[in-house]
């Protein structure tokens, strides 16, 4: 990591001191950088986070989840956030070769990996003056990824090893009948569905129908015990359709855990798609896949096959824009200081 004149500053683990502030001493402050990647928001907590210990990122995530879930709920839930928002905590890496560690979360809980969020994190760190163009390894709960920050502001992410676990799996979906799809790992577990009978068209005018359909698929997968490796739940459903124009190869709709759809083309979903294309011999390492989102924002992707396994390293490229800097105030007298819980 190139550091611009100073060390990368990790969360101070202390409440920021606002000496002129007239609030109670128990008031907590979280420093936030907001960005969006292809329309999908990322809210990174860069200061004020709790002590998550010195363990692996998976262990830190468990501490965050069991002891400090209020950091997730106060940053993402209403009245400060909204359901589609993805959040992240910047923390120390466990692996010393990494520049930073990150834990992603959303309205429903904690994510394994998030590529639009990693792209957002990279531009946020650049915005703060902590990194410059170049390659930066980042520790996550599911492994190390590398973010390459380019001169034009775009970011490429070398993801964790990805693969198709099962092809042509049929699931009986209430109200829609038998639907066939592939199960693939791209840093999260995905059920990938191509157009077929009873599958809604992937257009922006169809978002509520796509949400209803994908929610029914997610429920059916869970009810019928259809899962990823080691019984891990499939928590993302990805529906594909033809591109809206010649700028991409395909358009997708991705339902995330928590019931919201990804406004970006979903980087881990694009990784899962790349793994399926590679397994079907429809994509070679010299080709680029252009995946469009439901908003017609685009990620490009390439594959690097790993020898001695059927896995690939996907590289996904996109752009993000910083669109806010704020300090969240958690006032113990505010009944909704830690978010509205329905």
Binding of ligand PYC by 114 (CB under 6 A): yes
Taking the complex as a whole, the smallest distance from the CB of residue 197 to ligand PYC amounts, in Å, to 28
Phi, psi of 31 (to 5 degrees): -90, 130
Binding of ligand PYC by 11 (CB under 6 A): no
Given the residues 49, 98, 114, 256, the one annotated as active site: 114
The stretches of 141-206 forming alpha helices (DSSP H) are none
Taking the complex as a whole, the smallest distance from the CB of residue 231 to ligand PYC amounts, in Å, to 21
Which residue stretch of 28-36, 56-64, 259-267, 272-280 sits at the interface with ligand PYC (rule: CB under 6 A)?
259-267
Given the residues 98, 256, 266, 276, the one annotated as active site: 266
Given 43, 262, 302, 303, the residue binding ligand PYC (CB under 6 A): 262
**Of the two residues 254 and 330, which places its CB atom closer to ligand PYC in the complex?**
254
**Of the two residues 179 and 316, which places its CB atom closer to ligand PYC in the complex?**
316
Taking the complex as a whole, the smallest distance from the CB of residue 114 to ligand PYC amounts, in Å, to 4
Residues 6+ positions from 200 with CB-CB distance below 8 Å: 206, 209, 210, 213, 239
Taking the complex as a whole, the smallest distance from the CB of residue 123 to ligand PYC amounts, in Å, to 14
A 10 A CB-CB count for 146 gives 17
For ligand PYC, what does the binding mask look like between residues 41 and 80, x meaning CB under 6 A?
Answer: ----------------------------------------
33 vs 201, 204, 282, 323, CA distance in Å? 35, 28, 39, 8
**Of the two residues 90 and 256, which places its CB atom closer to ligand PYC in the complex?**
256
Given 266, 272, 294, 303, the residue binding ligand PYC (CB under 6 A): 266
Distance, CA of 116 to chain centre: 5
How far is residue 272's CA from residue 119's CA, in Å, rounded to a whole number?
Answer: 17
User: Which of 175, 176, 130 shows the shortest CA–CA distance to 149?
Assistant: 130
Q: String of b and e for 290-316 (b: at least 16 CB within 10 Å)?
A: bbbbbbbbbbbbbbeeeeeeebbbbbb
Q: Which residues are catalytic?
A: 114, 266
Residues near ligand PYC (CB under 6 A) are: 40, 86, 111, 114-116, 256, 262, 264, 266-268
């Amino acid at each position: 990591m190139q550091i611009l004149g100073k060390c990368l500053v990790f969360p101070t683990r202390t409440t920021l001191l606002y000496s002129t502030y007239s609030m109670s001493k128990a008031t907590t402050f979280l420093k936030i950088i907001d960005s969006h990647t292809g329309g999908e928001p990322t809210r990174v907590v860069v200061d004020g986070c709790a002590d998550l210990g010195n363990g692996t990122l998976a262990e830190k995530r468990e501490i965050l989840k069991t002891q400090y879930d209020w950091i997730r709920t106060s940053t993402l839930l209403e009245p400060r956030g909204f359901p589609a928002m993805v959040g992240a905590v910047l923390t120390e890496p466990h692996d010393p070769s990494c520049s930073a560690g990150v834990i992603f979360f959303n309205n429903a809980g904690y994510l394994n990996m998030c590529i639009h969020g990693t792209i957002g994190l990279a531009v946020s760190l650049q915005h703060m003056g902590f990194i410059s163009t170049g390659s930066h390894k980042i520790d996550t709960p599911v492994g190390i990824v590398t973010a390459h920050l380019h001169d034009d502001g775009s970011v490429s992410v070398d993801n964790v090893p990805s693969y198709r676990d099962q092809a042509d799996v049929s699931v009986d979906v209430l109200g829609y009948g038998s639907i066939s799809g592939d199960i693939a790992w791209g840093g999260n577990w995905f059920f990938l569905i191509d157009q077929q009978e009873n599958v809604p068209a992937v257009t922006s005018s169809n978002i509520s129908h796509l949400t209803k359909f994908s929610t029914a698929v997610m429920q059916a997968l869970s009810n019928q015990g259809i899962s990823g490796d080691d019984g891990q739940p499939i928590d993302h459903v990805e529906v594909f359709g033809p591109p809206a124009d010649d700028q991409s190869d395909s358009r997708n709709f991705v339902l995330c855990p928590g019931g919201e759809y990804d406004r970006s083309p979903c980087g881990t979903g694009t990784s899962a798609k790349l793994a399926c294309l590679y397994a079907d011999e429809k994509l070679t390492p010299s080709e680029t896949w252009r995946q469009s989102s439901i908003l017609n924002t685009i990620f490009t992707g390439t594959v690097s096959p790993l020898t001695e396994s059927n896995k690939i390293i996907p590289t996904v490229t996109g752009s993000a824009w910083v669109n806010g800097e704020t300090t969240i105030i958690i006032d113990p007298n505010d009944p909704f200081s830690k978010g509205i819980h329905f």
